[in-house]
Structures are given as C-alpha cells and as structure tokens.
Amino acid sequence: MAHSSLAGKRVIITGGASGIGLGVVRFFASQKSQISILDISAASAESVVSSLRSEYPGVTFLSKKCDVADWDEQKRVFAEVYQELGGIDIVFANAGVTELGSFVQKDEGEPTKPNLRTLEINLIGNLYTVKLGIHYLRKNEAAYKGSIICTASNAGIYYFPIAPIYATSKHGVVGAVRSLAKSLELEGIQINALAPAVIATNIAKDRALFDNMILTPMSTAVSAVEEFVTNPKVTGAIAEISGEKFTYREQPEYIDESTEKNLDMFWTLGYA
Ligand SMILES: NC(=O)c1ccc[n+]([C@@H]2O[C@H](COP(=O)([O-])OP(=O)(O)OC[C@H]3O[C@@H](n4cnc5c(N)ncnc54)[C@H](O)[C@@H]3O)[C@@H](O)[C@H]2O)c1
C-alpha cells in the first residue's frame, strides 16, 4: 500500500545491504522515500544500491560503509547523511550478527577473555544508532519528530541456549526500547522493535539450516515496520514477527502492586 506520508522521508537503515534490512529498504523504496544504507560491507551496499537505482528510478539511495560498533565511524556517517539528505526522519537500527565464538568453551589453562563482538554489534552498535537517531530527529521542527525501529529477535523474548550472547544482546534491545519509549514520547519520538522468528537471510552460517525450519515471510517484518511508521501513536512496542502476522508482546505482569508502584515512583521522582 502506498502512503503519501512516506514519500520523500529520509530513512537510515543499518545492515541494509542484505536480509531484513534489504526487505525494509525495498518497502521504503516502494514508498518513494529517500534511503541511506549503512553496512559494514561497502561492496555489498554499493552493489545493492546500484541495482536498486535501476529497479526504482527516481528514488534516492545513498550507500555508506559503516561498522555500527564503531562510534566514531557511525557518528561521522550520520553527519554525512544528515548533510546530504538535509535531515533524518526514520532510523532502522537493524544491523546484527549471529553468535561469534563460544562463551562456554572450556579453557585448559588461564581463563580466556570472552568474544563479545556479537554484543558489541547487536546491542552496543544498536544503542549507538539509537543515540545518533535521537540526536538528529530532535532537529526536526514539527512536534512529531520521527520514528526509530530496532531489530531485536524472538531470542530477546525467549531463551536461546545455542547462542547465549546473541540472546543477551537481543534481550538488551528489548529492554532498551521498552525503557526509552516514555521519555522519547515526551519529545515526539517513537521507538519500537521487531522481534523476528526465523526469516531466511544471510545471517545463518549455512543456509541449509533453513531447510529444517518453519520460516516466517519477510512481508510480516515489513508489515510491522509499515505500521510503526504510519501510526505515530505506537511506541515502546515489541512486535513479534512470526508467521503471516505480527503480534505485540507486552512485558510480564507485575508480581504485585508495590513493584508496579515503586517502579512508577522512580519515574515520578525523576531519578533512579
Ligand atoms: N533472519 C532471522 O531469522 C532473524 C531473526 C531474528 C532477528 N534477526 C535480526 O535481524 C537483523 C538483520 O539480520 P538478517 O537476518 O537480515 O541478516 P543478514 O546477514 O542477511 O543481514 C545483516 C546485514 O548487516 C550487516 N552487518 C553485520 N555486521 C555489521 C556491523 N557491525 N555494522 C554494520 N552492518 C553490519 C551485514 O553486512 C548484512 O548486510 C539482525 O539484527 C538479526 O539479529 C534475524
């Protein structure tokens, strides 16, 4: 469906050269938005952008090499995009990788430092994108300043023993989105997350893995993004992406009234 409100919107998409990022790039291209793809692989981003330019003539695409886990690089790239597009309206913090290394490997001698690169990309890199997104959305003059969407995972909702650091990173994204929403709402900024089940992309080390899985179509992830960016009232939502439809997942019930009241009191008093 075409939404006139999305035409010309300036969109940043991290990890946009492949998979879910690319699926969402195509959605915004179909809406005639202006799209900047940030990806650690400059070559993939460049080649994707050159084919998108012929597929969607008249749509603006930028491609930028950016490792989201590198604050200085990401800060510089956001500044370039802001300069080149004249503003930023929608930020999709999506870049991510699977588990790298094994946290539970046995060490023969001294304990080895864990490989936390997955956390650095999926959680810290994601928070860098959110921080930069907030900074640039605040520059928009209208009362409604724009939308931030983060890609978490259903491994941010359920336990996932094969990839504990991946699960940690995605639980972190869910917690950040839920907790940032209230203060950002006061400034007219939306923040929401996708929590996808299995979508066939290049994230798997071996795509044969998908032969054993019940897959969720890309269109379900895209429909949640479409809802977020066309409904400014939705914020702090976690859309679980499984099957043909997305489903909002609430935080767990409060154990008792005092817990709910105390947590509200931190907010009311303005300090933690
Ligand atoms: N595919 C799934 O089943 C699934 C399920 C749940 C969540 N996710 C999440 O979706 C997001 C996108 O993954 P995907 O499945 O589309 O994978 P993908 O590998 O197809 O695409 C990820 C893109 O991110 C880029 N990238 C990787 N590290 C980066 C970095 N440090 N900085 C910038 N770009 C980087 C890659 O080059 C690639 O283009 C990830 O956050 C992933 O955890 C995927």
Is 23 near ligand 1, meaning CB less than 6 Å away? no
Contact 167, 156 (CB under 8 A): yes
Task: Please say whether the dihedral angle defined by the alpha carbons of residues 180, 185, 186 and 187, taken in this order, is positive or negative.
Answer: positive
Is 168 near ligand 1, meaning CB less than 6 Å away? no
> H or E segment at 238?
strand 238-242
Cα(272) to centroid(ligand 1), Å: 33
pTM of the complete model: 0.98
4-105+113-270 folds as Rossmann fold (3.40.50)
Can you list the alpha helix ranges (DSSP code H) found in the chain?
Answer: 19-30, 42-55, 71-85, 117-119, 126-137, 164-185, 218-230, 257-269
Is 44 near ligand 1, meaning CB less than 6 Å away? yes
Is 102 near ligand 1, meaning CB less than 6 Å away? no
Contact 78, 70 (CB under 8 A): no
- Give the pLDDT of residue 271: 79
- Give the pLDDT of residue 206: 87
The span from the CA of 55 to the CA of 92, in Å, is 22
Is 17 near ligand 1, meaning CB less than 6 Å away? yes
Q: Where are the domains of the chain?
A: 4-105+113-270
Q: What is the pLDDT along the chain (272 residues), one digit of tens a residue?
A: 899 999 999 999 999 999 999 999 999 999 999 999 999 999 999 999 999 999 999 999 999 999 999 999 999 999 999 999 999 999 999 999 999 999 999 999 999 999 999 999 999 999 999 999 999 999 999 999 999 999 999 999 999 999 999 999 999 999 999 999 999 999 999 999 999 999 999 999 888 989 999 999 999 999 999 999 999 999 999 999 999 999 999 999 999 999 999 999 999 999 77
Pairing of strands 238-242, 245-248: antiparallel
List, edge to edge, every strand of the sheet that includes 146-151: 61-65, 34-39, 10-14, 90-93, 146-151, 189-196, 238-242, 245-248
- Give the pLDDT of residue 187: 97
Catalytic residue set? 166, 170
Q: Which of 64, 59, 20 is nearest to 38 (CA)?
A: 64
Q: Which residue's CA is minimally distant from atom 22 of ligand 1?
A: 15
Q: Could you identify the atom of ligand 1 that is nearest to the CA of residue 200?
A: 1
Tokens of 185: 């709402």
Cα(119) to centroid(ligand 1), Å: 13
Q: Could you identify the atom of ligand 1 that is nearest to the CA of residue 151?
A: 41
